[in-house]
Structure 1
Amino acid sequence: MKWTTANIKHANYTEKHELYVGTHTGSFKYLVPASEKSPHGQSNLSDIGALGKDSRVTSLAFGNEDQTDILLGRAKTEVELHSFSDGRRSKKTVFFNAAPIVGLARYNDKLIAGIGNGQIQSLELQAEKKSEPVVIATGNQMDNLRQCAQVRSIVATGGKERQNNLKVYDLSSDGKQIFSSKNLPNDYLQLEVPVWDCDVGFVDGPSVLATCSRTGYVRLYDTRKQRRPIACFASDEHGMSFTALVARGNFIYTGTSMGALKAFDTRRMNTHVHTYKGFTGGISDLHLDTTGSYLSSASLDRYVRIHDAESTVLLYQCYVKSKATKIIIRQLESERKIIEQPEGDAELEVVSNVRQIKSISATPVDNEYEEMFDQMPTVNDSDDDSEGTEVAAIKQSKDKLKRKSAITSLKSKKRKGVQN
């Protein structure tokens, strides 16, 4: 698909998704691409009039496994907890001691925040009295904090320079550090390789992690094997700067400051395997749906997009009026409560489809031969599951046409015999 600035929705995009978008101005937008009437309609979930200085959204994450709670952090000490359940929404505000909030997580009714100064702060959400947060020092700078979806007690942090590289902490052990990455060996000039883990992602578990850097590298770590990366991609392009990352299965999806979205295969990291088009500004955030088939992105060109992760087709694009900084995607609540169809009803539906196909594909016959056709044995009258009901119906129609042609030919020969 060619580059366009229009709001678009691909005809084949039928998934029931909804988007939550944070912007540079601080607005928190809600979009429903699955809507038939207004797939590009937007509603604001935050009070724009109450937004002050440094209100831009710097962190957006789900607060539970059911994805009914959303954690929103800003460039100041304020964190918002939005709860969406049974069609009702509630909001709670929590304040930390420092800013900006660069990452959020929730574990055992505690709100975990990654702060730009390198601290991990923890607050009790149900505390009766206001208390000071528990602080874990990770370094002097932090760019991102991510929570493992499979083991929610594990969080990872990353930042600029060697002392702020990738680290993994176990919140169930009072924030004990369980892993710290080690830089690559010095280059051929014996100079230290620059480190800047600006974004971190877990790859289907707590042991394998991926990082991307503003200096142009993507690295893959396995905490069970070694501290240094087990696979690495380093760009030779001048000015290549990665800004966002999300990983799932064998693929790592990365966005750059120049508006390039690329996918890497963890089994061969020497080059990218997919490129996604349609961007005119730097990519600020990426997020995958629960199936891993749809890749949502927020861009500084004021658009949010959804791509097919496998085919790279641009399925959805919407202008959100402000620079989009964070995005998350989830299934509509009604779609998450789908009840499987009983087997009996499924069989009845198949029988109904077979009858409909037979009625459509049946060939009309002359009244003179109708009685003769009814008395003849039917070939392939039963359904063949291996070939499908539609193929069986077509074969049945062809057989009837052949029999009609044979009878017509026989009658013509008899008429010639009588005339002779």
Structure 2
Amino acid sequence: MKWTTANIKHANYTAQHELYVGTHTGSFKHLLPGSEKSPHGQANLSDLGALDKESRVTSLAFGNEAQTEILLGRAKNDVELHSFAQGGGSKKTVSFTAAPIVGLARYNDKLIAGIGNGQIQSLELEAEEKAEPVVISTGNQMDHLRQCAQVRSIVATGGKERQNNLKVYDLSADGKQIFSSKNLPNDYLQLEVPVWDSDIGFVDGPSVLATCSRTGYVRLYDTRKQRRPVACFASEEHGMSFATLVARGNFIYTGTTMGALKAFDTRRMKTHVHTYKGFTGGISDLHLDVTGRYLSSASLDRYVRIHDTESTVLLYQCYVKSKATKILIRQLESEPQVAAQPEDEAEPEVVNNVKQNKSIKATPVDNEYEDMFEQMPTVGDSDNESEEEEKAATKQSKAKLKRKNPSQSLKTKKTKL
């Protein structure tokens, strides 16, 4: 396949969205796919001069329900809080005691960070004096931390091996663990099934969760029923490795390290129901908009894309010049629209405008041009009418000739005699 840096925007993509993209080099970019003038324009929101090898963006999340605050974590122990309130933006940096940051959350006035060493660290943002973070140990390795959007005090973690499997914590109860998953039974050789929860997603609430694995499985858990998964998909393809996941409603969207994006239905997990095309590199992150119809993705082939979740059509593609690691999609604030007036009220408004001497532009009338169209025969006239018109025209032409040349008419009379 020929490598290209072509940017794409589908004609039917009219939604007003904006994208926030974190890259492997550490840059933090802002894109406006909904813009008519520059849908592929990119603005850098970070200082490129201060970036180094450890500036890779490893976590990106919204800090509040209004989506006006973005939490950005890097491979080092620094976390950036970007606020995009009306009238301007602000940036704040908070430092933790370990790195890398693999997940971020905001609960009340506390900033929660998931660390790669298996710790959940919590810091007071409004504290007057610099204090040590509160630490919760989840194991010895963590791949991702995810916050529940419906109940923001609930967070879930997951990692590699059985001791770092899916766990759920309640931050309102001093970080108490409220759920821990249990692995599937041993296989037919009585060997333990390998566990590697590379990403986690809450399915419309704190009780149902979905996980994907680098070992090729997608599992669905219900914390109210049992510790083992209630539904599971296990890939038979060699090398199938799921890297990221996002869930909403009855569907789970997963991206693989080989550039495959698939959708699963939680009601029948035997096989995938949709496949989204257009990728040439591994998918590093997925995010849905508030409606659940538009699926944004970041890929290591240096592209960000937006697909329609129902029709699987590629609506938008943009080349961002660096390996995209994290992505967020947000609805642009709509401008206030003028309410349509009823027909009864529209008429007096026009009269008032005329009274106020508001000029109305009109095209000038060409009389000669109008006369020419009036003399032209109408399409669809009968043959008899056209013959009569032709006879009348010949008579008029003969009369004009007689007036112009009277001598010629006398000669014709003599010849007749």
Task: Tell me the TM-score normalized by structure 1.
Answer: 0.80
Give the equivalent residue in structure 2 for 1:97.
Answer: 97
Q: How does 1:235-384 map to 2 (within 5 A)?
A: 235-332=235-332, 334-335=333-334, 345=340, 347-348=342-343
> Any idea what SS the aligned residue of 2:273 has?
strand
CA contact (8 A) 1:264 1:271 kept: yes
Give the equivalent residue in structure 2 for 1:137.
Answer: 137
| Alpha-carbon offset, residue 52 of structure 1 | 1.9
Counterpart residue identity of residue 307, structure 2: H
Counterpart residue identity of residue 313, structure 2: V
Whole-angstrom distance in 2 between the partners of 1:12 and 1:348: 31
Whole-angstrom distance in 2 between the partners of 1:134 and 1:37: 48
Whole-angstrom distance in 1 between the partners of 2:3 and 2:48: 32
Whole-angstrom distance in 2 between the partners of 1:21 and 1:250: 27
Give the equivalent residue in structure 2 for 1:206.
Answer: 206
Inter-CA distance 348–222: structure 2 relative to 1 (3 Å threshold): farther
Q: How does 1:104-143 map to 2 (within 5 A)?
A: 104-143=104-143
Whole-angstrom distance in 1 between the partners of 2:57 and 2:256: 19
Counterpart residue identity of residue 206, structure 2: P
Whole-angstrom distance in 2 between the partners of 1:267 and 1:73: 35
Count of paired positions: 349
Structure 2 stretches of 5 or more lacking a match?
348-417
Whole-angstrom distance in 1 between the partners of 2:306 and 2:3: 14
> Any idea what SS the aligned residue of 1:255 has?
strand
| Alpha-carbon offset, residue 87 of structure 1 | 3.9
Alpha-carbon displacement from aligned partner over 1:233-274 (angstroms, at most 9, x marks no partner): 000000000000000000000000000000000000000000
Whole-angstrom distance in 2 between the partners of 1:68 and 1:87: 12
Whole-angstrom distance in 2 between the partners of 1:170 and 1:239: 35
> Any idea what SS the aligned residue of 1:168 has?
strand
CA contact (8 A) 1:23 1:322 kept: yes
Larger-gyration structure (1/2): 2
Inter-CA distance 186–81: structure 2 relative to 1 (3 Å threshold): same
Whole-angstrom distance in 2 between the partners of 1:200 and 1:176: 19
> Any idea what SS the aligned residue of 2:245 has?
strand
Give the equivalent residue in structure 1 for 2:230.
Answer: 230
Counterpart residue identity of residue 223, structure 2: T
Give the equivalent residue in structure 1 for 2:82.
Answer: 82
Inter-CA distance 64–216: structure 2 relative to 1 (3 Å threshold): same
Alpha-carbon displacement from aligned partner over 1:58-109 (angstroms, at most 9, x marks no partner): 0000000000000000000000000001141100000000000000000011
| Alpha-carbon offset, residue 5 of structure 1 | 4.0
Whole-angstrom distance in 2 between the partners of 1:7 and 1:244: 24
CA contact (8 A) 1:3 1:278 kept: no
Give the equivalent residue in structure 1 for 2:67.
Answer: 67
CA contact (8 A) 1:3 1:277 kept: no
Give the equivalent residue in structure 2 for 1:153.
Answer: 153
> RMSD of the alignment, in Å?
2.0
Inter-CA distance 171–346: structure 2 relative to 1 (3 Å threshold): farther
Whole-angstrom distance in 2 between the partners of 1:170 and 1:105: 13
| Alpha-carbon offset, residue 53 of structure 1 | 2.5
| Alpha-carbon offset, residue 178 of structure 1 | 0.3
Inter-CA distance 348–192: structure 2 relative to 1 (3 Å threshold): farther
Whole-angstrom distance in 1 between the partners of 2:190 and 2:36: 60
Whole-angstrom distance in 2 between the partners of 1:178 and 1:329: 31
CA contact (8 A) 2:25 2:53 kept: no
> Any idea what SS the aligned residue of 1:285 has?
strand
Counterpart residue identity of residue 85, structure 2: S
Q: How does 1:151-230 map to 2 (within 5 A)?
A: 151-230=151-230
Whole-angstrom distance in 2 between the partners of 1:348 and 1:231: 57
CA contact (8 A) 2:60 2:71 kept: yes
Whole-angstrom distance in 1 between the partners of 2:40 and 2:287: 19
